[in-house]
Amino acid sequence: MPEEQMATPGGQPSATPAPAPPAARPLDQIDRTILRLLRTDGRASIRSVAEQVHVSRANAYARINRLLDDGVIRGFSALVDQERAGQGASAYITLKIVQNSWRTVRKQLTTLPGAAHIALVSGDFDVLLLVHTKDNRELRELVLTRIQSIPEVLSTRTLLVFEETDLGVEEG
């Protein structure tokens, strides 16, 4: 990571992440402020972060590296306008799955085109999946052909996204 610029590409967690160990030490207010600043602008320079939290550049650099080493910061990524990227249809898909099949289902869902977020949840369904597709026809094909053909998937429900807002992120 360059000292002055935080423009680290990628940063996506692996498809089968290992359980994250707890942070090596508790976060203080400066760490929390650094996280807020980087969540707002992942490309913020070390100099800018240091000035805003009132610490030296060396201190800011060391703190960010510790947050990375401890797994608190998992990576950096771009905020994408899905519609402008040719993905005009977005949906949350809820899935009921066979008990104890989470790892198998997650592995298959990570290979789906347009899968953006997968979560094991509690409640009336087991999995919440966010997908982005070119259009509704592609979305229908994804749900009816790809997802519902997974043997461990018992049922699905598709919730179309009409508009979305990412919180804590400064666009532009």
Cα distance between residue 37 and residue 22, in whole Å: 22
Mean pLDDT of 150-170: 88
Sheet holding 89-97, edge to edge: 115-120, 127-133, 89-97, 153-161
The pLDDT score that the predictor gives to residue 83 is 87
3-state secondary structure the chain: CCCCCCCCCCCCCCCCCCCCCCCCCCCCHHHHHHHHHHHHCCCCCHHHHHHHHCCCHHHHHHHHHHHHHCCCCCCCCCCCCCCCCCCCEEEEEEEEECCCCHHHHHHHHCCCCCEEEEEECCCCCCEEEEEEECCHHHHHHHHHHHHCCCCCEEEEEEEEECCCCCCCCCCC
pLDDT tens digits along 108-139? 999 999 999 999 999 999 999 999 999 999 99
Residue indicated by tokens 């990412």? 166
Binned at pLDDT 50, 70 and 90, residue 62 comes out as very high
Place of tokens 């994250």: 20
The two structure tokens encoding residue 99: 């008990």
Lowest mean pLDDT among 10-14, 26-30, 38-42, 103-107: 10-14
- Judged against a pLDDT cut of 60, whether residue 18 lies above it is answered with no
Q: Is residue 2 over pLDDT 70?
A: no
Per-residue confidence (pLDDT) for residue 164, from 0 to 100: 84
Per-residue pLDDT at 172: 52
Average pLDDT score over the chain: 86
Single pTM value for the model: 0.71
